[in-house]
Amino acid sequence: MKIGEFTIEQLSEGFFELFEDGTFQKIESSRLDNLKDDPNIGKFTSAIGIDPLLIQKSGKNILVDPGLGWGLDSGSQYKKASNVVTNLDIFDLSPRDIHYVILTHLHFDHAAGISRVSEDLKTEPTFPNAEYILHQDEWDYALSQINRDIKIPGAGYKLDEMYKLIAEERFTFVDQEIYEPVDGVFAIKTGGHTPGHMIVKLKDGDNSAYFMGDLVPTEYHLNHYSMRNIDIDPLQSKKSKTLLLKQALKEKAVMFFYHSLFKKSGKLSRDPQKKYILLKP
Ligand SMILES: [Zn+2]
């Protein structure tokens, strides 16, 4: 999709069932058509999509949230999994072509794809030439959680592979509220879901787009707040979400969602009942 000078693609890893213990399982495509009526989904699990974002502008390739990382490790059991590397290949890009990786936060369903384990069992960055961008508060918080037993599905941290990348100075830790690595690409701290959660806003003249991370994970969450058990600071989440959606509406921005099952993007508008709706961009 073209938005101003930006070319934006969603790199879908598919649809997953998220279990109460935090594990993921891929949903067979044959079950997808009947997802809404599937009696087994929604009872003990939730169904989510995983859609990392690829942004291209003036020769720079930017990835936002590189996904689950399935199939990246040599020796992985998920040989045929669609992952960030197989999906870049569709656009004729190799991991070496990525200049920036912006991480909204470090929950493993967003961040696990940053590294891989090579055949000689060495951790290496999946994107060898990329600068990884993360908010300092997110790293500090993740470190404080490593010895805690996190019971929230999907809210776990897997940091082991990250220490090496940090030691090799591949990370840029953001300590301000807004960081602009590339002209018109803004990583904006929202907190709420996690203390250092960031969203990404793209702006080119009158055109803008928002990738809301887990602040608004699906189109359903535009009008509903159901993150009570998942957000670290629900009040801060609500505050950031309300302000950002108001701004995005004013800008008639295109919204991109990481976890949607059905509508993964659309131009933000409101119906006569003042409910947020998505129009074809
Ligand atoms: Zn999360």
Q: Could you tell me the residue ranges of all domains in the chain?
A: 2-279
Per CATH, domain 2-279 is 3.60.15.10: yes
pLDDT of residue 65: 98
Tokens of residue 118, six digits:
């090579």
pLDDT of residue 149: 66
How far, in Å, from the CA of 211 to the mean position of ligand 1? Answer: 14
How far, in Å, from the CA of 26 to the mean position of ligand 1? Answer: 18
How far, in Å, from the CA of 210 to the mean position of ligand 1? Answer: 17
pLDDT of residue 137: 97
How far, in Å, from the CA of 273 to the mean position of ligand 1? Answer: 30
How far, in Å, from the CA of 161 to the mean position of ligand 1? Answer: 18
pLDDT of residue 146: 77
Q: Residue 210's beta-bridge partner residues? A: 201, 255
pLDDT of residue 151: 59
Strand bridging mode 131-135 / 45-50: unpaired
Q: Within a 10 A sphere around the Cβ of 187, how many other Cβ atoms?
A: 25
pLDDT of residue 199: 98
Are 26 and 14 within 8 A, CB to CB?
A: yes
How far, in Å, from the CA of 247 to the mean position of ligand 1? Answer: 23
How far, in Å, from the CA of 58 to the mean position of ligand 1? Answer: 30
Tokens of residue 44, six digits:
């003990």
pLDDT tens per residue across all 281 residues of the chain: 999 999 999 999 988 888 777 778 888 777 777 766 666 666 566 788 999 999 999 999 999 999 998 889 888 877 788 999 999 999 999 999 999 999 999 998 999 999 998 889 888 999 999 999 999 999 999 988 876 766 565 567 778 778 888 998 999 999 999 999 999 999 999 999 999 999 999 999 999 999 999 999 999 999 987 776 788 999 999 999 999 999 999 999 999 999 998 899 999 999 999 999 999 98
How far, in Å, from the CA of 213 to the mean position of ligand 1? Answer: 8
How far, in Å, from the CA of 23 to the mean position of ligand 1? Answer: 14
How far, in Å, from the CA of 248 to the mean position of ligand 1? Answer: 22
How far, in Å, from the CA of 97 to the mean position of ligand 1? Answer: 27
**3-state SS, one letter per residue, for 190-254:** CCCCCCCCEEEEEEECCEEEEECCCCCCCHHHHCCCCCCCCCCCHHHHHHHHHHHHHHHHHCCCE
Residue 144 CA to residue 124 CA, distance in Å, equals 24
How far, in Å, from the CA of 174 to the mean position of ligand 1? Answer: 19
Provide φ and ψ at 178, rounded to 5°: -130, 135
Q: Residue 82's beta-bridge partner residues? A: none
